[in-house]
Amino acid sequence: MEKAMEKAIEIIRERTFSGSDSRKYCVLAQEDLDGRITAAVITAAKADGIKHINLCSGINSNWAQRALRDNRAAICFESDEYCITLRGSLDILTDEKSKQENWYDGLENHFSGADDPNYCVMRFTTEVYKLFIDWEETEGSL
């Protein structure tokens, strides 16, 4: 299990904005405002191992509004070689430190800067994981 976890952490790090993988995104699944499950692709800003994945959005976005109503969520990083599925909670951060630390090039297309009042960080906290890496499955909780 340790080897799969180490690989998952490395894959997630590479798939964040500061990583070297060109696929800097994951799939975020949440309960929509009408009670149905919805999933969409979103850029992963930063990660703290497998425990926390930070995503950036607008406080008025559907993602943030869903999280404010019901913070249960799931994230998936996948390719032909692996599938990392994480289930947990999504919290909205609006403090200046979090906003500055997660700001990346490209966000200026949507916000006036890290101090934009509409800009927020959505912090995903993993509770349960399921890893399919090197043709082996591992699952557990944090």
pLDDT given for residue 15 in this prediction = 93
Q: Which pLDDT band, with edges at 50, 70 and 90, does 87 fall under?
A: very high
What are phi and psi for residue 33, nearest 5 degrees?
Answer: -65, -20
Q: What is the mean pLDDT of residues 106-110?
A: 94
What pLDDT, on a 0 to 100 scale, did the predictor assign at position 18? Answer: 79
Residues 5-27 have pLDDT tens digits of: 999 999 999 999 877 778 889 99
Which residue's structure tokens are 């799969």? 4
Task: Specify the higher pLDDT residue, 141 or 18.
Answer: 141
pLDDT, position 1 = 61
pLDDT at 101 over 90: yes
**Hey, where are the domains in the chain?**
2-141
pLDDT in tens, 27-44: 999 998 888 999 999 999
> Do the Cβ atoms of 56 and 122 come closer than 8 Å?
yes
For the segment(s) 2-141, the CATH number from 3.30.565.10, 2.30.110.10, 2.40.50.140, 3.40.50.970 is 2.30.110.10
